Chain A
Amino acid sequence: MASGESGQPQVSGDSAPAAPSPTLPPPEKPSAVRQRSYVVLSFWLVVLLLGLPIWWKTTAIYRAELPLDRMLKWADGKACRPVFPLQISIQADSLQEQEAQNLIRLTQHALDDLNDFSGHHLRLQLAPRNAPLPRDDFQTALTIRLKPGTSSSASLNQESAVLDITYPPNHVPSLTSPSSPLASYITNELRATFAEEQSIISYLLSTSSMSTGVRPQGLSAEAAEALSKRTTRSLRYAPTYHLTFSLFTDNALPNTWDIEAALDEYIRPMLEVLRPIHNFTIDTQVQLYAIPGVQSQVLSKDHLSSFINAAEWPLSPSIGKAPTVNFVIYIGNQTVGLDAEAETSRSWMIPQWGTVYLLSLPDTESHVSTAALKQPMLTFGGHLLTLMGTPQSGSLPLRLSTLGRIRSTDLLLRASSTLGSLARLSLALPSISIPRSVADGVSKTMHHLELACADLGGPEGLMHARIAEEEAERAFFEKSMVGQLYFPDEHKIAVYLPLLGPVFVPLIMGLINEVKKLIKEAKQKALDARTKKQQ
């Protein structure tokens, strides 16, 4: 009230020297001044309390809550320490119970002493006497059959995961001796058998970000390079693979082949063995008048990559989810010349794709017989195992059980790193929307990852790792997230400015005037107070 009255002469005093106006407006009523302040205030309250929240709500992007910390923990390998307890049962029917127990204790000691990689743990146990051989059992990785013989020898059974060891009778440890030649012999054999698996798994762990605490010890540079070559060559894990066998020829002959018989004889038995880990579907085709991408007689290393005429040859991946492995027989008398060796080869493998085999036949031959297909089919079988990522040493059953463990580790690592990428993506792009399905996928992935981690090396672990990987991929490649809408700032200005510009100019001007008036009043008050004091 007082300020209103005191303010008025001040204004007139200011404007008087600049432009001496003949008349001054009558002084304003204090109630009008107060009303004006209320008007300005209420407008701003509406803008701030109603307009702003509505604008915020309607233009906000939905971002589902993601457990970022736990996701990053998985990616860093802090959530799970991959441990593979491998059960090895020993059948020693020829030994006394006590002796056998002692032997196992000694061997276990020796193994534990030598083991440098804690994740890969061999655990020995005594098999019940006269038990039948376990078949395709994931619980027991390997069975050792001890038999007395004349000298120490070991051989892997080709049919099942059994290591036959013969020992001279004098090598059996006595109940009191701290060491025994038989125990150390078994230890060495076991280490040799599992050396490759151990190095592959430690390589996988070391290349991933999960490497905390795991040093790839004893892994030389060359070995690591060979392993990296192997892993890049092998296909990504899938529960089902689709095999396509194709016969290509550059003219019209031959145009029939005994592929069904050849598959039954050479390929299907092998696929039957692989069935616990993968399923396979097969198709075959004959393609005439197929011109290769390279026309020279001797194919050098550079030619091999362009030999497949991808534009012309119908080698498109098969429809469906399963990845396709291609096996191509090309009828022609070209040879593959490698620089190092004088000898020539007839086939080569294309990493993550398949194999090409050059089969030379007489020009007039119109039919490819099963006999002619034998060598190509055997080559394809070998290459298929490599493309699956099977280790190279050991007997087939042992290699396959190793494959299962390698695949579980690989999938676990992949799923974890996908989770990490997703977490980093959501942190890096604050404007990306995260739908609910992604959050669901993430929680499912973590659930299955935990289950997989608890049972690594077993069939359950492989299954859970597979589901986790699938869910993680689905969450990461969520369609609505990938297609991030690009809405440039210029467009935002074009939409907002026509409305907000004209509306905000009076609002802001009004506010400024009001604030100016308040400041002036405050100053005036202070001045008044001072003059009063001086008086």
Chain B
Amino acid sequence: MRSLLSFLPLIIPSVLVSATEYHEQLNLRPLPLSALLASFNFRANTSIADFEAQNFRLFPRSLGQILQYAGTRELHLRFTLGRWDAESWGTRPWDGTKEGGTGVELWAWLDAETDQEADEKWLTLTNALSGLFCASLNFIDGTRTIRPVVSFQPEGDHPNTTLDNTRLLHGVLPHEVVCTENLTPFLKMLPCKGKAGIASLLDGHKLFDASFQSMAIDVRPICPSEGECVLQLEQTVDMVLDVDRSKRPHDNPIPRPPPGRDLICDTSKPYHKPDDACFPVDHLRGQEWTLSQIFGRTMKGTCPLTDSETPPVCVHIPSTRDIFSSEGAHEIKYPNDDSLRCYHIEQEKEFTLILTKPEVPADGEAASLGIVKPETPVLYAERSFTGHGQEHGGVQAILTNPGDDTVEFVYMESLPWFMRVYLHTLSARISGSSPNTNTTTEIVKQIYYRPALDRARGTQLELLVSIPPHCTVFLTYDFEKSILRYTEYPPDANRGFDVAAAVITTLEPKAMNIRTTSLLLYLPTPDFSMPYNVIIFTSTTIALAFGGLYNILVRRMVGANEAPSGALKDKVLGFVAKLKKKKTAVAAVAAGGSATPATGKTEAK
């Protein structure tokens, strides 16, 4: 009751500012082994009227102006690094809707009557965002842009009339390396910067040291059933930290094996001998950390703008584990979900959480890890290159449905133009069935295919696929590698060319997104000193042919004994003879001169 009363004055002001509001939350979810998922979510609303009058308060001015200038209705931008290990980490955070393929991914709905207008606005948008986020987004040109048909649906509430006049464009830069310079502008867009609230935990060193990290920016209009429409900016950071690595001290970052007596051994192994043979079961020990250890800094209170109903920090962990929070924080437990604990924090105070060691289970039982078991995802997806040689190749996607329901999804590929896809080789077969049985038409229901144009646009391939329960499907197609022009190769041509991740959007049994890893395509690469070699080689050939021809035409042919001896030859011979004479004279003098000191030396000895 007391706690409820103390909340009342906090709730009232948040009711007053309904059109513009701000909300932030950090969700911590320990994962198997020593991984820890930290999801930061920041949401700022601004009323459409304020946005159109360019009165920015919670919404960043820089982004707002870009959106208005480029006529953007809805924007999604992703910066992703690393790979989500679905086998051990389970379902993706936010069902995969807030992550992109490796590198940078951008899709937006633009106001445009024609495709050409859309392209112009897209160019403006990518160039402006490139400056804002210090990323090479301006390299998203026509060859990297596609117009997805079924994969993406607008998330915001758009009136039907405006949606008819918008175009969806999607661009991806798999080669881009996401780094600190992208985080800084991201933090600057938050109303409290990185100075207060959960954003004060975000540190570039830790974020980009994570096993997987994804930064997302979504702008969408939201129209509640009553009240005016608002424009919502949602910024999300998901990172999977390796707790062991994060806990290593800054000044001593090299991992060292623990001494033998500290090892936890599996005593059930037959070869187990104390102090001699040990099968370590460290990873079964369970996590133990403090908030400041894993993020490298403490949390500096809350952002005063945040709406006070949402608790800023939540931890998903079984209720059996003990967590201590710093003084002044208020723990909330939810009766319907006993593995969730949230914390209300005082504004100005520093906050930290301490997760203690789990109680040692009796008799070394490895059953309880002290974490919430991750949910099995709806679909597993992997993709790799097949084939060999410099001319032809193939792509194989392995899609596994572990569940009891048929999974229906859209598989989308945005391939570069220099990968010439042979669509007739597209085949899908269920594992176990023989490769000769043609099951493609049963599995792939629909195909949307837009072939590439050399140097103008890439291939767009969207497949509607459905996989029966407990089945693995192999989706394969072949392609041909084209040879690029000399100037089209990047400086590090031998590294290969990145091929963007495939985007999988599931429709049944529930909507979610999965992205495969990006691929590295090796193209035939010439030797780049070749042009000069060619110049010299052809020049020499031409000169030889020309010289021979010309000499035959101009010179007079005479018998060998009739040839006049050349004056030049005589001169050279005379010079050589002179030189020889001189040399012998000098040598004689030198021999005489050097003899004396040498003898002197030996005498002194």
Contacts and interface: CB of A to CB of B under 8 A. Distances in A.
A253 interface: yes
A484 B96 CA distance: 48
B554 A39 contact: yes
A502 B305 contact: no
B554 A25 contact: no
Interface stretch (A282-290, A331-339, A423-431): A282-290
B131 to A, nearest CB: 8
Nearest to A495: B535
A314 interface: yes
A18 B571 CA distance: 11
A15 B54 CA distance: 98
B54 A282 contact: yes
B535 A288 contact: no
Main secondary structure of the interface of A (DSSP, over half): mixed
Contact of B547 (A40, A283, A314, A506): A506
B562 A499 contact: no
Given A252-B196, A253-B304, A495-B535, A506 B551 contact: yes
B542 A252 contact: no
A21 B558 CA distance: 13
A479 to B, nearest CB: 15
B69 A319 contact: yes
A252 B61 contact: no
Interface stretch (B187-195, B358-366, B507-515): B187-195
A503 B61 contact: no
A510 interface: yes
A255 B305 contact: yes
A292 B374 CA distance: 46
A495 B539 CA distance: 9
Contact of A25 (B128, B535, B547, B562): B562
B254 interface: no
Q: Which of A36, A319, A499 has the most CB of B within 10 A?
A: A319
Nearest to A22: B561
A226 interface: no
Interface in B418-451: none
Interface string A77-110: 0000000000000000000000000000000000
B570 interface: yes
B559 interface: yes
Interface in A1-46: 15, 18-19, 21-25, 28, 32, 36, 39-40, 43
A47 to B, nearest CB: 11
Given A288-B193, A495-B535, A283 B550 contact: no
Size class of the B contact interface (CB-based, 8 Å)? 35 or more
Contacts of B535: 494-495, 498-499
Contact of B61 (A22, A281, A285, A499): A285
B546 interface: yes
Given A284-B54, A319-B65, A36 B554 contact: yes
Interface string B527-567: 00000100110111011101100110110101101111101
Contact of A284 (B56, B304, B546, B567): B56
Contacts of A282: 54
A198 interface: no
Interface in A116-174: none
Q: Which of B543, B550, B554 has the most CB of A within 10 A?
A: B554
A499 B55 contact: no
A295 interface: no
A314 B56 CA distance: 12
A314 B188 contact: yes
Contact of A28 (B54, B62, B556): B556
B539 A499 contact: yes
Interface in A456-488: none
A24 B562 contact: yes
Given A39-B554, A288-B192, 13 more contacts: A19-B570, A22-B561, A24-B562, A260-B53, A282-B54, A283-B65, A284-B54, A285-B56, A286-B56, A316-B62, A502-B539, A502-B547, A503-B543
Interface of A: 15, 18-19, 21-25, 28, 32, 36, 39-40, 43, 244, 252-253, 255-256, 259-260, 281-286, 288-289, 312, 314, 316, 318-320, 494-495, 498-499, 501-503, 505-507, 510
Interface of B: 53-57, 60-62, 64-66, 69, 128, 188, 191-193, 195-196, 303-305, 532, 535-536, 538-540, 542-544, 546-547, 550-551, 553-554, 556, 558-559, 561-565, 567, 570
10 contacts: A23-B562, A28-B556, A244-B61, A255-B305, A285-B60, A286-B56, A288-B305, A502-B540, A503-B546, A503-B547
Q: Which 7 A-B pairs have the closest CB atoms?
A: A502-B543, A283-B54, A498-B539, A499-B539, A289-B195, A252-B304, A25-B558
